[in-house]
Structure 1
Amino acid sequence: MARFDLTDFEWSVIQPLLPNKSRGVARVDDRRVLNGIFWRLRTGAPWADIPARYGPHTTCVNRFNRWRKAGVWDRILSAVSKAYDGDIQMIDSSSIRVHQHAANSKKQTRSRCMGRSRGGLTTKIHALVDACGLPIYLKITEGQAHDGRSAQDMIDTVERGNVLLADRAYDSNALRQTLAARGATANVKPMPNRVMALRFNRRLYRKRNLVERFFNKIKHYRAVATRYDKRDDNFLAGIKLAAIRIWLRFNESMT
């Protein structure tokens, strides 16, 4: 087994979640193709450089795109993350530098989630993780997007009795009111210019390093650490694949 290939445990989880094809020409071996996709995701190499042991690179890229359009990657991530620990959830973002090969698309017919920020042309990954630092929800925006406003559609899993940890970029009355209406607690570091002091548990806030650790883990995948994809949906699909692998490795370590 090559270095970045799926383990038997990982494959046993993924295989039942893949599409069934009962008619027509037999599909090229799914495990081999997935290993090629994960190899490219981990190394950040161009699709054309996928080693021959994984078959034609066109098969890997076509399968990646087809299953992205069919929502397969979303379904797998949803399935492997169902057992998240929601008592404490953490939200944060991280900016990713856009490679020049991703920025030179001639067709500008849709938003590509690329924006100008201090680091140049960037894309921002937003992540909501559980009490173990495992991803629950992922999205991308332009690099200059405001963290607090981007969080409004990410916190549906924060329910009564849960606590949301976030840094001061997420300190807003609107977010606090949304959580309070659900019976959840916002342990968000307050902005220094707030007139009225807000309840803030510094000891609990230290657990927020788990979301930062998640970003460190996901950036081991070089196709995530630097954005080479021209399309935002392809880049987000790669992020979700990396998140699936993180979940699978965590679950395997617990068995």
Structure 2
Amino acid sequence: MLDALNHAGIAPDKLQMVDSTVYRAHHHAAGAKGGLRKRLLAVREAASRPRSISASTAQALPMRTEITPGQDSDYTGYDMVMADNLPQPAVLVADRGYDSDKIREDIESRNALPMIPMRRNRRVRKAVDMTIYTLRNMVERCFNKLKNSRRLATRYDKTAESFLGFVDVACIRLWLRHLST
């Protein structure tokens, strides 16, 4: 559904943002049915605090969401979110967690401008236009709108599939609100 909305060209997609947030699991999220192995995986999954990674537009609308384990770094989920079937951005804004040579090369291969501040340990520094970078708060606003849903904020779902399904439902709800106004 989100892919269809992305390709419809309804929302401006020249400025895209990538970020991640952590959803804390409620203690009822452990104990999925289906045998000991599945229950152990569900407990480990609930304890790992899943991290939702989202690509967003300049209007704080989610374009794609994926779930990675909470202990993973931000840049590990970049490839899942920024697949080839998303519209091509002109500028991609992200925070320092996405500062890697591989990500910068991928953005430049898409003929887009990376607006990612350099990590402090980098020797070669590249300038970042701070007026564009300050728009990154739109992706944070997108996560805040998603976390207004109590089911997402507390994560009662026992499996990652059902949690991601409800994240997608909440994303579609944001799109419908935007399209109805």
Shift of residue 217, structure 1, vs aligned partner: 0.4
Larger RCO: Structure 1 or Structure 2 (Cα < 8 Å, ≥ 6 residues apart)? 2
3-state SS of paired residue (2:124): coil
3-state SS of paired residue (1:209): helix
Deviations 1:162-183 (CA, angstroms, capped at 9, x unpaired): 1110000000000001111121
Asked if the contact 2:46/2:158 (under 8 Å) is kept, the reply is no
| Alpha-carbon RMSD | 2.0
Alignment partners' CA distance in 2, 1:208 and 1:88: 10
- Decide which of 64, 74, 78 is 2:3's aligned counterpart: 78
Query: Is 1:114 matched with 2:45?
Result: yes
Alignment partners' CA distance in 2, 1:179 and 1:162: 9
TM-score, normalisation: structure 1:
0.63
When Rg is computed on C-alpha atoms for both structures, the one with the higher figure is 1
Change in CA separation of 1:195 and 1:215 when aligned onto 2, cut-off 3 Å: same
Structure 2: gaps (5+ residues)? none
Aligned length: 173
Q: Which residue of 1 aligns with 2:164?
A: 236
Asked if the contact 2:66/2:80 (under 8 Å) is kept, the reply is no
Query: Is 1:148 matched with 2:75?
Result: yes
Asked if the contact 1:125/1:141 (under 8 Å) is kept, the reply is yes
Identity %: 34
Shift of residue 158, structure 1, vs aligned partner: 5.5
Alignment partners' CA distance in 2, 1:107 and 1:141: 23
Q: Which residue of 2 aligns with 1:203?
A: 131
Asked if the contact 2:29/2:46 (under 8 Å) is kept, the reply is no
Deviations 1:138-178 (CA, angstroms, capped at 9, x unpaired): 0111111111121022223262x611100000000000011
Alignment partners' CA distance in 1, 2:157 and 2:113: 37
Letter in 2 for 1:137: R
Alignment partners' CA distance in 2, 1:126 and 1:108: 27
Query: Is 1:194 matched with 2:122?
Result: yes
